[in-house]
Structure 1
Amino acid sequence: MTGRLDQKVAIVTGAGSGIGRASALGFAREGACVVCADISGQEKATADEIGENAVAVHVDVARSSDVQGMVDAAVDTFGRLDVLFSNAGLSGPRGPLAELDEESFDTVIAVNLKGAYLGMKYAIPAMLDSGGGSIINTASASALVGWKDIAAYSAAKGGVVQLTKSVALDYATRGIRVNAICPGMTWTGLAGAPADGRTAPPTDRVPPQPMKRWGDPRELAAAALFLASDESSFITGTAIPVDGGYVAR
């Protein structure tokens, strides 16, 4: 039996916890060599759990030099780049827009939207050198419907969706597919979950999703794995809700 990502090299940002950690572990189980990138310092724990087919890189996805170094680490360590899962993000302060300070707004846009731009900017040339690849960007259900008190986050993730669609068209004939996943309310650090991913979500605080439960990071990782694999070879320019029916309401 061969893995779905055998002989592929993948970068996962936000790999220290939540969806990123679950994805890095899942990609590795399916045969990929994985660059585990994060700003938290927890990226090393994820890479150590994977073993010799992983390397940890400390990255601020809003810094051009860091992102270029992350891509260089993939190519220098494993010889190529086939998959980028641009997953790192932050929600920022909650509250009405007029109460949001400008610095916080800029940070939310820089990490969530500029981070996706920088990831693709530096990954695409490396993928072209490798013969193509797959890019997955983490957007949000809030990119598709309005969410109260997180206007900057929703705007950034809406930008990620449109960036995804446009870049998919730029490279549709050059062997690079670009898609986004749009998580609903998922039990990650943004919701208060611990980094190790081993604690069950609370049953007394259920999000308002039709399935009446939290999303599991592994469910989001499964969607990213599908888009990273050749099973999705005819899919590009999509933004797929993985949200327990939230957007469909």
Structure 2
Amino acid sequence: MHPHDGDSIEYPEDIWDRTMDINVKGLWFGSKHAVLGFWRHGKKVSSLINTASVVSLVGAATAQLAYTASKGTVLAMTRELGIVYAREGFRFNSLCPAPLNTPLLQGWFGDDKAKWSRREVHFPSGRFGEANEQAHAVIFLASDESSFVNATDFVADGGMTKAYVTPEGPATEAPKNLAGP
């Protein structure tokens, strides 16, 4: 997402074009060359995972129109490719991650506790996801264990898109009589 991404009223066209070139045209070129590579190497079952975002499913209250629109396109293109190439054994899936605790996010939010809590409150677990947790979702989608998963929007967001209201306060504790040794 470009730092100058914005709304539909005051929006630089060059930022829109750049975002679409990277997130949409880049996906198109990558997918095109992946299919050619799958055919060239004669692999009957192949998997391609495109990165979308939870905002492609639920939108965002902060103005980031180009990013949100481009990630919605990732979902549509990936589903189409998954259907078109299913008989060849080529699988296409989208990963829809929530915001992750990464150096990029840390740079955007810095030490501003209000920015962190404004977003963190939406996670039922009360925390951001970690990059390695997304990597495990990618490993699953690329593996034979997901051989019947195709043209899907795989959401790895800690329940964020399913939570209308999240719990308040610290995690609940198990009743004393259920505690293990």
Alignment of 1:145-224 (within 5 A): 145-148=58-61, 149-192=63-106, 204=113, 205-206=116-117, 207=120, 208-224=122-138
1:116 to 21, 24, 27: 27
Q: Using the alignment, how far apart are the partners of 2:71 and 2:91 within structure 1?
A: 19
**Number of aligned residues:** 154
Deviations, residues 114-159 of structure 1 (Å, cap 9, x unaligned): 1111101011111122214100000000000111211110100000
Q: Using the alignment, how far apart are the partners of 1:203 and 1:99 within structure 2?
A: 26
Relative to structure 1, the CA distance from residue 157 to residue 92 in structure 2 (aligned partners, 3 Å threshold; closer, same or farther) is farther
In the alignment, which residue of structure 1 is the partner of 2:48? Answer: 135
Relative to structure 1, the CA distance from residue 172 to residue 92 in structure 2 (aligned partners, 3 Å threshold; closer, same or farther) is farther
Runs (5+) with no aligned partner, structure 1: 1-89, 195-200
Whichever structure has more strand as a proportion of its residues is 1
Question: What is the letter of the counterpart of residue 93 of structure 1?
Answer: H
Q: Using the alignment, how far apart are the partners of 1:106 and 1:203 within structure 2?
A: 31
TM normalised by structure 1 equals 0.58
Relative to structure 1, the CA distance from residue 212 to residue 202 in structure 2 (aligned partners, 3 Å threshold; closer, same or farther) is farther
TM normalised by structure 2 equals 0.78
In the alignment, which residue of structure 1 is the partner of 2:171? Answer: none
Q: Using the alignment, how far apart are the partners of 1:114 and 1:139 within structure 2?
A: 14
Runs (5+) with no aligned partner, structure 2: 164-181
Question: What is the letter of the counterpart of residue 213 of structure 1?
Answer: R
Deviations, residues 207-246 of structure 1 (Å, cap 9, x unaligned): 2322211110001110001011111111100011111212
Q: Using the alignment, how far apart are the partners of 1:123 and 1:230 within structure 2?
A: 18
In the alignment, which residue of structure 2 is the partner of 1:29? Answer: none
> Contact 1:185 / 1:214 at 8 angstroms: preserved in 2?
yes
Deviations, residues 18-49 of structure 1 (Å, cap 9, x unaligned): xxxxxxxxxxxxxxxxxxxxxxxxxxxxxxxx
Question: What is the letter of the counterpart of residue 117 of structure 1?
Answer: W
Pair member with larger Rg: 2
- SS of residue matched to 2:9: helix
Relative to structure 1, the CA distance from residue 193 to residue 187 in structure 2 (aligned partners, 3 Å threshold; closer, same or farther) is farther
Q: Is 2:36 aligned against 1:125? A: yes
Q: Using the alignment, how far apart are the partners of 1:209 and 1:109 within structure 2?
A: 29
- SS of residue matched to 2:86: coil
- SS of residue matched to 2:58: coil
- SS of residue matched to 1:136: strand
Displacement of 1:203 in angstroms is 10
Relative to structure 1, the CA distance from residue 171 to residue 190 in structure 2 (aligned partners, 3 Å threshold; closer, same or farther) is same
Deviations, residues 53-82 of structure 1 (Å, cap 9, x unaligned): xxxxxxxxxxxxxxxxxxxxxxxxxxxxxx
